[in-house]
Structure 1
Amino acid sequence: MAEFEPQLNNSASKTTSPKHFYDEDSWKTPTGFELAWFSTGCITLLISLAKSLIIISRQSTGFRGWIEPVVAAILGYVLGDLGTGIYHWAIDNYGTAKTPVFGSQIEGFLRHHDHPSAITKRHVATNLYVGAAGFTIAVLPMNIFCTNPNLLAFASAFLGCGMFCQQLHAWSHTPKGKLPPLVVALQDSGLILPRAEHAAHHHQPFDSHYCIVSGVWNRVLDKCKIFWAMEMILFFIFGVRPRSWSDLDSK
């Protein structure tokens, strides 16, 4: 069981110099690799939306033909928020910097607890290229082979939330005066993650308010203790303690 035991926690992360994780100069200028994946993700999303619109218009079913794709997109958006919460919870609580595939994200999320405003200094391509790469790999084959506008609408919204959630996350840490008016209006309406909603996550033991698209699922998940139940199940089956338990002990 020891190999699954989380090794990093919030207090431990402070023992390492933050310079490696908080380098504004390098973050302001994205690499060509980051720009390429970010651009590819945005193009893939536009192609998916355009294909959906073309298919719907060719079906010539009038207003009724738009209802199902719109509902599918809304459902994808709502479930996208839930998906980011589950992923955020897992990254925050399990694994280490040495975990295959996810190690760098795990380490980055843990350092984010120490320097929450650092994410606002990063270029949008640096923030989003990982999500854009995943979105492209998942959606590009659908753009080529899928002809169902409902499926395309759902996938674009659901996976698009995963692609852009880190920017919504960054905006939730950005002072209101530095945000575009449209972003502020969307935050105030609750359509994207409000600043106060996410601020509740940044208190030890970092065990609530994980969803970072709109945060609409946070109240349900936290009130019903869904993540706590999942942690108990994993603990009893694998003997693995989530990182939030250690942070709670420290608190």
Structure 2
Amino acid sequence: MSILPQHHHIIHHAAAVGRQYHHHRNHRVYCTSTTRIKTRPKLEPLVINTTPLVTVTPPKIDDPSLKSTWAHRAWVATGCTTVLISLANSIIGSIDSHIWLEPILSGFIGYLFADLGSGVYHWGIDNYGDASTPMFGSQIDAFQGHHKWPWTITKRQFANNLHALARVITYTVLPIDLIGHDQPVVMGFVGMASGCIMFSQLFHSWAHGTKSKLPPVVVALQDAGVLVSRSQHAAHHRPPYNNNYCIVSGVWNKFLDEHKVFEALEMVVFFKLGLRPRSWSEPNSDWTEEAETFSTTSLP
């Protein structure tokens, strides 16, 4: 096989390189180069804030928030006075006009209205707003705490428990007493409705009471369905916490729950205002009842 001139040149060049490599085989060759390497950003450790937004603890037996003040007592006295004025006007008007059936019926309707109103109000503050909500914030906050520690309502003193509603009744009913004092039917409705609304928190407290510690007449009224029963209201404090809202007699609870009235109202509020009720969320620890930590001694 013949070798072309260019091939002969390549062979000689390769031999020369080989001799050169053999001559320098004991020498080390160092190469340096610079390469830009992207450095990873320094990662800070992930810290999860486990501190609750609001530290909430159950009230103690001597907590001032459970005791009545003279301002509370004054408001309850004023509220009771406006209710008694309404009932007295109804009775006097019935005697003067010789009618009895209509004022009695209007009073019964007022009693039913109070139970329905307590349910609607209870549903609203259970599902919407928070402690910062204007006008209703304190009530919303109190009812949310009530779900966690429902037994605290039985530890509140009488005027402490009723003063907020008594103040509302005073501002609402007193002008009606002055304007409609000569209307026995109107006064019968207003007197019974306002009285039941003002004392609804007392009925509510009795629904959380122990049968052996309640007056026998209260137990009899609860068993007869005149006042909301302990067993009926206990269902409100069990999951899913979205039923049995009425706290006067509870007579409306079955109708409202079976016909899903509040669920329909929640849909209306959601589509009109975009507000989701709390009952649509899975109940968290704020809804879970904690055991009573009070001593058995009642407040004075």
Asked if structure 2 preserves the Cα contact closer than 8 Å seen for 1:204 and 1:247, the reply is: no
Aligned residue for 1:44? 82
Give runs of aligned pairs for residues 58-97 of structure 1, distance below 5 A.
Answer: 58-59=96-97, 61=98, 65-97=99-131
CA distance in 2, matches of 1:24, 1:157: 34
Rounded to whole Å, the distance in 2 between the matches of 1:154 and 1:228 is: 29
Of the structure 1 ranges 93-102 and 157-166, higher mean CA displacement relative to structure 2 is found in 157-166
Q: Which deviates the most, 192-201 or 28-37?
A: 28-37
Cα distance in 2 for partners of 1:90, 1:34 equals 25
Letter of the structure 1 residue corresponding to residue 57 of structure 2: P
CA distance in structure 2 between the partners assigned to 1:15 and 1:200 by the alignment: 28
- In 2, Cα distance between equivalents of 1:167 and 1:54: 28
Following superposition, the deviation at residue 247 of structure 1 comes to 3.0
Larger radius of gyration between Structure 1 and Structure 2: 2
Shift of the alpha carbon at 1:175? 0.2
Displacement of 1:136 in angstroms is 1.1
**Aligned-partner SS, 2:236:** coil
Judge conservation of contact 1:187–1:193 (CA < 8 Å) in 2: yes
After superposition, what is the alpha-carbon deviation per residue over 1:182-235, rounded to whole angstroms, capped at 9, x for unaligned? 101100000001000100000133100000001010101000001011111211
Q: 1:16 Cα deviation (Å)?
A: 2.4
**Aligned-residue offset at 1:239:** 1.8
Aligned residues: 234
When normalised by structure 1's length, the TM-score is 0.88
- Could you say which structure has the higher helix fraction? 1
Give the letter for the 1:24 counterpart: I
Q: What TM-score comes out, normalization by structure 2 length? A: 0.74
Aligned to 2:200: 165
Matches within 5 A, 1:142-153: 142-146=176-180, 147-153=182-188
What RMSD in Å do the two structures reach over aligned CA positions? 2.0
Deviations 1:108-132 (A, max 9, x none): 0000000011000001111111111
SS at match of 1:191: coil
Give the 3 Å change call, closer, same or farther, for CA 239–142 of structure 1 in structure 2: closer
**Structure 1: how far apart are the matches of 2:271 and 2:209?**
39
Q: Closer, same or farther in 2 for the Cα pair 1:13/1:167, shift >3 Å?
A: farther
Aligned to 1:201, the other structure's residue is in SS state helix
Matches within 5 A, 1:10-159: 16-19=55-58, 22-25=59-62, 26-27=64-65, 29-59=67-97, 61=98, 65-146=99-180, 147-159=182-194
Residue 214 of structure 2, aligned match among 159, 163, 179: 179
Gaps of at least 5 residues in structure 2 are 1-50, 288-300
**Following the alignment from structure 1 to structure 2, what is the Cα–Cα distance between the partners of residues 29 and 227?**
34
Mark the runs of 5 or more structure 1 residues left unpaired by the alignment. 1-11
Q: Aligned partners of 2:255 and 2:172: how far apart in 1?
A: 29
Report the Cα distance in structure 1 between the residues aligned to 2:56 and 2:65, rounded to whole angstroms.
17
